[in-house]
Amino acid sequence: MLSHPWDDSRVNAQNNPADVELEITNVAHGGVFVSRLDGRVVFVADAIPGERVRARITESSKKSFWRAETVEVLDASPHRQAHVWASAAIDVTPSERAGGAEFGHIELSHQRELKRQVLADSLQRFAGVESDVQVEAVPGDDERDGLAWRTRVSLHVDADGNVGPYAARSHRVIRVGDLPLATDEVASAAPLDQQFRGAESVDIIAPSSTQSARIVVREPVKKGVSPANRREQTIIERVGDRDFFLDEGGFWQVHRSAAELLTGLVQSTIDEALFDPRAANLDLYGGVGLLAAAVGDKFGSTTRITSVESSARATDHAAENLSDWVGAQSITARVDAYLRGLVAQSSAAERTRLAAGTVVLDPPRSGAGKEVVASLAELRPAQLVYVACDPVALARDIGLFAAEGYELKALRAFDLFPHTHHLESIALLTR
């Protein structure tokens, strides 16, 4: 039997020697919830603040915190609902619960409140900013109960060829019977009852330019071959009346309405009084040019903007997607290295154009980070439009920018990932 430093009276030995009763106090970043056991923080999955649950300790090796999985709700929150995905419900053994819908047991509007709390707390702790920002619904999501929004699903394949998502917080494939977060096209095409021996993963993709989904079976990458060198088919995503070409495995916003929403948000967030179409405007982490195109469509065909992206294939597509703007170009480079080059090599005239510029950046989940922030601060662009999919990384970078003289002027947040803990934010910073 495991030995734990808690009072034996708190352990339900009839179920499991590592089961404990916990009071859930608040939400934490990462889709888990906070409790305390004899003074130690315990991060609990599948709970809601205000609940009393029986939870199973799953990780107790760290001194600073433990982890646990809810196995029974003793006092339920009024915001608890039947899980939207039966494969992830609380009556499934924790190790067998499908991952990817960690907020699916919470009523949709309360999910947004919890995400708001995480964002507001992150801004206060990492940036010293008090914010009353709300997490807004994407139009149409409430009518669908937050379901049927994923246009892309990547399923994993185990050694026996079984296909499915990973179990929550693991790398073990779970077979499931449905995919409720997927669009109808993706859900109906998903080969959940088939086997793919020898494959690495199976992607189901429903481009907005077609009425059907495509299935992409990915084989393991051969030794010595970079995943970036895989041959990819080109697909088309349509945003408004504009087409974007990209590789079928390339990055694209996964929510069916995200690309159009973010296009409008970038256009409305830019301070027009600070925008100079002749300046050295930048689109960092630019992908295939979605947000650079948003800027170009807003300010005209002569707008100068350089899109910087580390993926050569994405950059090739961006060059085609941005061909309508005579002042647009796409560059293959790591953003940190590209900015270092600008800092080191720009002439006085180039520095003037950079200082008059607008920078749109959409970094990965880890955020821009210290080096990129420091380089941008050295270049002193007039405004920064920061699109973020992680509230902690955003808040940390806002704090770094504040130390360099940039102030948060506007912030909006959207629930682009219903029934998960993720959200999307867009911030305007000016000096």
pLDDT in tens, 343-363: 999 999 999 999 999 999 999
How does residue 8 score in pLDDT terms, banded at 50, 70 and 90? very low
For the ranges 1-5, 61-65, 162-166, 305-309, the lowest mean pLDDT is seen at 1-5
- Which H or E run contains 122? helix 108-122
**Which of 254, 333, 258, 251 has the alpha carbon at shortest distance from 288?**
251
Question: What backbone phi and psi angles, to 5 degrees, belong to 182?
Answer: -80, 150
Note the pLDDT of residue 12. Answer: 45
Do residues 386 and 429 make contact, with C-beta atoms less than 8 angstroms apart?
yes
- Please state whether the predicted TM-score (pTM) of the whole model is above 0.85: yes
Question: What backbone phi and psi angles, to 5 degrees, belong to 164?
Answer: 170, 180
Query: Strands 358-361, 305-309: parallel, antiparallel or unpaired by DSSP?
Result: unpaired
Architecture of domain 17-80: Beta Barrel (2.40)
Note the pLDDT of residue 389. Answer: 97
One-letter amino acid of 190: A
389 is catalytic: yes
User: Percent of the chain scored above 90 by pLDDT?
Assistant: 91
Q: Tell me: is residue 309 an annotated ligand-binding position.
A: yes
Angle between helices 312-321 and 290-299 (to 10 degrees): 20
Question: What backbone phi and psi angles, to 5 degrees, belong to 365?
Answer: -55, -30
Q: Tell me: is residue 285 an annotated ligand-binding position.
A: yes
**Helices marked H in 198-347 — which ranges?**
258-269, 290-299, 312-321, 335-345
Do residues 324 and 301 make contact, with C-beta atoms less than 8 angstroms apart?
yes
**In sequence order, what are the residues at sequence separation of 6 or more whose Cβ sits closer than 8 angstroms to the Cβ of residue 105?**
46, 48, 80, 81, 82, 83, 89, 90
Do residues 294 and 301 make contact, with C-beta atoms less than 8 angstroms apart?
no
Residue 176 in tokens: 């499931």
The answer to whether residue 6 scores a pLDDT higher than 90 is no
Do residues 243 and 237 make contact, with C-beta atoms less than 8 angstroms apart?
yes
Mean pLDDT confidence for 279-291: 98
Note the pLDDT of residue 7. Answer: 42
Residue 38 in tokens: 């004899």
3-class secondary structure, 292: helix
CA 152 to chain centre: 13
Across the chain, mean pLDDT equals 94
The whole-angstrom separation of Cα 425 and Cα 80 is 26
**Helices marked H in 286-334 — which ranges?**
290-299, 312-321
The whole-angstrom separation of Cα 303 and Cα 126 is 35
Mean pLDDT confidence for 358-386: 98
3-class secondary structure, 369: helix
Identified catalytic residue from 22, 374, 389, 428? 389
Q: Tell me: is residue 253 an annotated ligand-binding position.
A: yes
Each residue of 52-74: pLDDT tens digit?
999 999 999 888 899 999 999 99
Domain ranges for the chain, please list them: 17-80, 150-225+244-254
How does residue 397 score in pLDDT terms, banded at 50, 70 and 90? very high
Query: What's the half-sphere exposure (Cβ side, CA atoms, 13 Å) at 256?
Result: 23
Tally the residues of the chain: 431
**Which of 104, 102, 95 has the alpha carbon at shortest distance from 174?**
95
Residue 98 gets which letter from DSSP?
B
Do residues 22 and 68 make contact, with C-beta atoms less than 8 angstroms apart?
yes
